[in-house]
Structure 1
């Protein structure tokens, strides 16, 4: 049996990102995917253009906007930061071709079990095949095929229902991109007390628009039927009708999954490794940035004398989830818990204050590029700026979620 350097399980954006980065690092990589790695991805993936780790990735962005706004607390807030949507086909092809140049070979099959030996691990599939590698990287999504993680008691989920298509009138201004529109005047009074949702929308050009009603996070996730109803109510209130549907997007994913056990002899990446940014839900841009550093750490560990699956996985985990990143994760989880306590009025007041912070602070918060001290200062500055109603909500969250703040102080997972 051939023993490769790394077996990557999963061929979504994060699986292809780590596979190509590992091959770039000079490792022999084989991939295992439940479906063909060329199968089209159904969801849309957004990214701030200044987050892209290399200029070549700009070619994988299908649409971009410099006119990006937030509507909150009856204000229009221009962000003056370029935003893009990946062209899924281009990004997929780019990552696959990078991997092919490095010798990555993909196989189709469902990973069923993993067995760890002294020098390598073996993954068996449902149809009885066995793949061997010195390290296994599970990138199979939020419910990983092989990784173990603690049982989650209260999982907050982001939910969204979106339509790509043509409309009787532009649902947003031409050339415009709306990151968040929390205005809720179109809802009945009793609906104002339900979990707040916002419009995420953009002009795709050529007469097509993308409109999506989104629940930032809620336990349990807001039903997609509720989001569809709210989206159509929002469009009706503007006198806009759907003329042609090109694509329906339905999203539901966890925002606060616990971290996998970091002492197991296999590595995780993407949703399997709980890399979703807790307050925003973004992950693909982060995965593209983090993949090269994780791959280099794994390559260095596998190049050491006496390397084992455990030593290689430990190196990868320590790079992906360093003590500083563990601290920041707890602060971000506290931010998420605080937002979930907000009603429609307080969440709008929160974001009005958030986007009035100095640009480097709110961009660093959303991109996870602040140091732990900078992140703590930014959150404190925001606490001082927000109106009293929001501050009371944050104080209540601090009382209920004190364990998150304690773990942030001590760098615990």
Structure 2
């Protein structure tokens, strides 16, 4: 049996990104995918244009907007930051082309178990086949079969129900992208007391729009049926009817999964490695940015004398989840826990204050580009700026979530 350098399990956006980056270091990479790696992706993936790590990625965007706004309370806040939506087929083909140029070989199968030996690991598939590699990277999604992580008593989930279609009237202004619309004037008083949800919407041009009702995070996830009802009520309140449905999007994924154990011999990437950004739920842009650094660390480790699956995995985990990055994650998780304590009025006031921060601070917070010190200063500045009723919610969160703050202070995962 031949032994490749790396086996990557998973062929979603993050799996293709890390497979491409690894192959470009000169490593021999095999991909293992439950279906053909060119199988279409169903969900939509957004990104801030200034997050794209390479100019050629701009060609993978299907839409882009410079008119991006947030509706919170009585304010419409112009963000002055360009936003894009990937064309899934273009992004997928771009990553597959990079893989092909550097010799990635794709196999179809589902990883079921992994067996570690001194110099390599052996992946067993559900249908009884075996693949050997010096390192295994699990990029198979939020519920990976090969990675181990601590049990989580409560997992907050982002949920969304969306429609791409044609409408009787524009649901948003022409040429506009709405990042968040938390207004609740279309809801009954009882519904306004329930978990807040917001509209995420954009003009696709040619009479097509995408509208999606989203719950940022909730334990358990807000039912998709509830989100569909709220979306339709929101549209009806604005005199907008759905004329033709071109695509339905349904999303439900964890926002605060614990980190996998960082001492294990399998490396992770994407949802398998808990890379969802807690303030937003975004992951693909971050995975595209970070794949090269993780791949370089793995390649260097595998190139060292006496390399083992453990030494390569440790190098990859260190590049992905350094102590500083783990500390920042605890702060972000505290921020998420704080927002989950907010009612509709409080969360609107929070975002009014958040988007009034200096632009480098709120953009860095959403993109995870701040240093630990900068992140702490940004959160403190926001605490000072928010109205009193929001500050009281944050103080209550600090009391209830003191373990997150303690772990951030002492660098614990």
TM-score, reference length from structure 1: 1.00
Q: How does 1:80-229 map to 2 (within 5 A)?
A: 80-229=80-229
Partner deviation per Cα, 1:154-177 (whole Å, 9 max, x = no partner): 000000000001001100001000
Q: Aligned runs of 1:359-378 on 2, under 5 Å?
A: 359-378=359-378
Cα distance in 2 for partners of 1:272, 1:132 equals 20
Structure 2, unaligned stretches of length 5 or more? none
Instruction: Report deviation, 1:411.
Output: 1.0
Distance 1:261 1:70 in 2: 37
Deviation at 1:252, TM superposition (A): 0.2
CA distance in structure 2 between the aligned counterparts of 1:310 and 1:412, rounded to whole angstroms = 21
Q: Superposition pairs for residues 244-283 of structure 1, below 5 Å? A: 244-283=244-283
Q: After TM superposition, what 4+ stretches of structure 1 lie above 4 angstroms from structure 2?
A: none
1:218-248: CA deviations, max 9, x gaps? 0000000000000000000011000111100
> Could you state the TM-score of these two structures normalised by the residue count of structure 2?
1.00
C-alpha separation between the residues in 1 aligned to 2:194 and 2:19?
42
Deviation at 1:410, TM superposition (A): 1.1
In 1, the alpha carbon distance for the partners of 2:206 and 2:141 equals 33
Q: Structure 2: how far apart are the matches of 1:89 and 1:208?
A: 19
- Alpha-carbon distance in 2 for matches of 1:315, 1:167: 51
Q: Post-superposition shift, 1:319?
A: 0.5
Residue pairs, 1:339-354, within 5 angstroms: 339-354=339-354
Q: Distance in 2 between matches of 1:205 and 1:272?
A: 35
1:145 is displaced (CA, Å) by 1.6
CA–CA separation in structure 1 for the residues paired with 2:250 and 2:396: 33
State the match for 1:390 in structure 2: 390
Q: Which digits, 9 at most, give the CA deviation of each residue in 1:264-284, with x for residues without a partner? A: 011000000000001110000
Aligned-pair distance for 1:94? 0.3
Query: How many equivalent pairs are there?
Result: 413
> 1:315 aligns to what?
315
Q: C-alpha distance in 1, partners of 2:153/2:52?
A: 34
Q: State the distance in 2 between where 1:318 and 1:370 align.
A: 18
Distance 1:126 1:76 in 2: 52
1:206 is displaced (CA, Å) by 1.2
Give the superposition deviation at 1:35: 1.1
Cα RMSD of the aligned pairs, angstroms, is 0.4
Question: 1:326-384, CA deviations, whole angstroms, 9 ceiling, x for partnerless residues?
Answer: 00000000000000000000000000000000000000000000000000000000000
Partner of 2:231: 231
1:37-89 superposed Cα distances (whole Å, 9 cap, x missing partner): 11100000000000000001000011000000000011000000000000000
**Secondary structure, aligned partner of 2:365:** helix
Separation in 2, partners of 1:411, 1:290: 21
Structure 2 counterpart SS, 1:153 = coil
C-alpha distance in 2 between matches for 1:23 and 1:110: 21
> What residue is the counterpart of 2:19 in the other structure?
19
Separation (CA, whole Å) in 2 of partners of 1:196 and 1:78: 22
Aligned equivalent of 2:336: 336
Q: CA deviation at 1:412?
A: 0.8
> Matched residue of 1:158: which SS?
strand
